[in-house]
Amino acid sequence: MTTAPAKAGWRFRQPSVIPGFGLTLGFSLAYLTLIILIPLSGLIWRSAALGWADFWAIATDRRTINALEISFGTAFIAAAVNVVFGTIVAWVLVRYNFPGRRIVDAMVDLPFALPTAVAGIALTTLYAPNGWVGSLLSPLGIKVAYTPLGIVIALIFIGLPFVVRTVQPIMEEIDKEVEEVAATLGANRFQIISRVLLPGLAPAIVTGFALAFARGVGEYGSVIFIAGNLPYKSEIAPLLIVIRLEEYNYEAATAIAAIMLALSFVMLLVINLVQTWSRKRYG
Amino acid sequence: MEVRVANVRKEFDRFPALRDVSLDIKSGELIALLGPSGSGKTTLLRLIAGLERPTRGNIFFGEEDASHKSIQERNVGFVFQHYALFRHMTVADNIGFGLKVRHGPTRPSAQEIRRRASELLDLVQLSGLEKRYPAQLSGGQRQRVALARAMAIEPRVLLLDEPFGALDAQVRRELRRWLRDIHDTTGHTTVFVTHDQEEALELADRVVVMSQGRIEQVGTADDIYDTPNSPFVYGFIGESSSVPVKVEDGQVWIADRPIGLSAPQAPEGQATLFFRPHDVELVDGCSGCIAGTVAASRRVAGTRRVELEIGGERQRVEIELPVDHPAAQKSRVAFRPRRWKLFPAA
For residues B206 and B142, state if they share a domain: yes
For residue B274, the surrounding DSSP H or E stretch is strand B269-275
Residue at which a domain ends, from B235, B267, B291: B235
What pLDDT is attached to residue A90? 94
Q: A5 or B33, which is more confident?
A: B33
Q: Does A3 touch chain B (CB under 8 A)?
A: no
For residues B100 and B140, state if they share a domain: yes
User: Which residues does chain B have within 8 Å of residue A1's beta carbon, measured at their own beta carbons?
Assistant: 136
Asked if B290 and B255 touch (Cβ cutoff 8 Å), the reply is no
Q: What's the whole-number average pLDDT of chain B?
A: 89
Percent of chain A with pLDDT over 70: 93
Of B43, B39, B44, B15, the residue nearest B211 (C-alpha): B39
For residues B159 and B254, state if they share a domain: no
In this complex, the residue of A1, A175, A185 whose CB is nearest that of residue B98 is A185
Taking one residue from A and the other from B, the number of pairs with CB-CB distance under 8 angstroms is: 78
Q: Do A191 and B101 touch (CB under 8 A)?
A: yes
What pLDDT is attached to residue B329? 67
Rg (CA), chain A: 23
Percent of chain B with pLDDT over 90: 47
Residue B224 structural domain = 3-235
CA-to-CA distance for A119 and A85, rounded, in angstroms? 19
Q: Which residues of A205-216 are buried (b: 16+ CB within 10 A; e: fewer)?
A: bbbbbbbbbbbb
For residues B154 and B287, state if they share a domain: no
Residue B97, CA distances (Å) to A169, A184, A195, B153, B199 in order = 26, 11, 9, 9, 30
What pLDDT is attached to residue A4? 47
In this complex, the residue of B51, B74, B136 whose CB is nearest that of residue A180 is B51
Q: Do A202 and B50 touch (CB under 8 A)?
A: no
- Tally the domains of chain B: 2
User: Which residues does chain A have within 8 Å of residue B102's beta carbon, measured at their own beta carbons?
Assistant: 186
Asked if B76 and A184 touch (Cβ cutoff 8 Å), the reply is yes
Asked if B191 and B48 touch (Cβ cutoff 8 Å), the reply is yes
CATH number at residue B243: 2.40.50.140
Please give the average per-residue pLDDT across B101-120, as a whole number.
90
What pLDDT is attached to residue B60? 93
User: Which residues does chain A have within 8 Å of residue B101's beta carbon, measured at their own beta carbons?
Assistant: 182, 185-188, 191, 195
Residue at which a domain ends, from B213, B235, B257: B235
Tell me the pLDDT band of A11, cut-offs 50, 70 and 90: low
For residues B202 and B260, state if they share a domain: no
CA-to-CA distance for A219 and A221, rounded, in angstroms? 6
For residues B101 and B126, state if they share a domain: yes
Asked if B87 and B31 touch (Cβ cutoff 8 Å), the reply is no
Q: Helix, strand, coil proportions of chain B in percent (round to 5)?
A: 30, 35, 35
Asked if B225 and B302 touch (Cβ cutoff 8 Å), the reply is no
Residue A3 has pLDDT above 60, yes or no: no
Amino acid at A6: A
For residues B211 and B81, state if they share a domain: yes
Helix axes A52-59, A250-282, angle to 10 degrees: 70
Residue at which a domain ends, from B196, B220, B235: B235
- Torsion (CA) A20, A26, A30, A36 in degrees, nearest 10: 90
For residues B192 and B308, state if they share a domain: no
Residue in A closest to B152 by C-alpha: A185
Planar angle of CA B67, B70, B75, nearest 5 degrees: 95
Asked if A189 and B72 touch (Cβ cutoff 8 Å), the reply is no
Residue in A closest to B159 by C-alpha: A184
Q: What's the whole-number average pLDDT of chain A?
A: 86
Residue B22 phi/psi, 5° resolution? -130, 140
Please give the average per-residue pLDDT across A166-190, as a whole number.
91
CA-to-CA distance for A193 and A177, rounded, in angstroms? 14
What pLDDT is attached to residue A183? 93
For residues B165 and B258, state if they share a domain: no
| All domains in chain A, ordered by first residue | 72-236 (1.10.3720.10)
CA-to-CA distance for A37 and A30, rounded, in angstroms? 10
For residues B206 and B259, state if they share a domain: no
For residues B193 and B266, state if they share a domain: no
pLDDT digits (tens, 9 = 90+) for B230-269: 999 999 998 898 888 888 888 888 877 888 888 888 788 8
Please give the average per-residue pLDDT across A226-241, as a whole number.
86
Residue B179 phi/psi, 5° resolution? -65, -40
Asked if B176 and B197 touch (Cβ cutoff 8 Å), the reply is no
What pLDDT is attached to residue A160? 93
What pLDDT is attached to residue B43? 94
pLDDT digits (tens, 9 = 90+) for B184-232: 988 999 999 998 888 999 999 999 999 999 999 999 999 999 899 999 9
What pLDDT is attached to residue B309? 86
Indicate if the alpha-carbon torsion angle A207, A211, A214, A217 is positive or negative.
negative
For residues B149 and B20, state if they share a domain: yes
Residue A225 has pLDDT above 60, yes or no: yes
User: Which residues does chain A have within 8 Å of residue B133's beta carbon, measured at their own beta carbons?
Assistant: 281-283
Please give the average per-residue pLDDT across A144-152, as a whole number.
88
CATH number at residue B67: 3.40.50.300
Range 144-183 of A in CB contact (< 8 A) with B: 175, 177-178, 180-183
